Amino acid sequence: MTRGRGRRPAHEVRGEVLDAAGRLLLGEGMPAVTFERVAAEAGASRTTLYKWWPSRGALALEGYFHAVESTLAFPDTGDIEADLTSQLTAFVRLVGTTRAGQVVAELIGQAQTDPDLAEAYRTGYSRPRRDLAVEALHRARDRGQLRADVDAEAVVDQLWGACYHRLLIRDEPLTDAFATTLVRQLLGGLRP
């Protein structure tokens, strides 16, 4: 007898579902993350998934978080150029050389037609990371390393956004040198 149809503890099912979603996402990419396949892989009912996740994008995103358990940190050594370069280089390497790059790109792509995913992505991923960088930039400004009128949000777009651009359009390569260049070119004009 297989398992019966009665209910299992919610958290147990949740865990298996997210495992399955993350596995599919990392293994076969976004198109493989369907309610159908995730439910089948997790041995759960599709009904259950519909109850907890509003869209396949939201499910995929949560599966991604569940799989990578990323730590959120922005080391502050006191040298903003060095910190930005190291952060940006780490980011470029992550999305440029690991599976994560393609996955993040697909999530952003899917988010264009999936409002639930877009919202979840902003709230749970991009916003916190932006904030960390903005705070670091503000601290640098307060330390006198950056001009007083620096627009920290725009700086984030000019560094990370530039990388996302290359990640999403892919008509120019995403290299360490590129990361370094971004910081160098931008900070030249931002020093007091």
Partner DNA sequence: TCCTAACCGAGACGGTACGTCGTGTCTTAGG
Partner DNA sequence: CCTAAGACACGACGTACCGTCTCGGTTAGGA
Least distance between its own copies and beta carbon 150 (Å): 7
Cα distance between residue 151 and residue 94, in whole Å:
26
Residue 190: name the closest of 154, 142, 147 by CA: 147
The correct pick among 108, 124, 132, 176 for binding its own copies (CB under 8 A) is 108
Task: Take residue 118 and report the two structure tokens written for it.
Answer: 């877009």
Least distance between its own copies and beta carbon 22 (Å): 18
Closer residue to DNA (CB): 33 or 155: 33
Phi-psi map region of 34: left, alpha, beta (phi>0 left; psi -120 to 50 alpha): beta
Cα distance between residue 139 and residue 157, in whole Å:
18
Residue 48: name the closest of 57, 60, 37, 39 by CA: 39
Cβ–Cβ under 8 Å, residues 103 and 25: yes
**148-177 residues near its own copies, rule: CB under 8 A:** 150-151, 153-155, 157-166, 168-172
Least distance between its own copies and beta carbon 117 (Å): 10
Interface ranges with its own copies (CB under 8 A):
29-31, 105-106, 108-113, 118, 121-122, 126-127, 130, 150-151, 153-155, 157-166, 168-172, 178, 181-182, 184-191
Interface ranges with DNA (CB under 7 A):
1-10, 13-14, 32, 34-37, 43-48, 50-52, 55-56
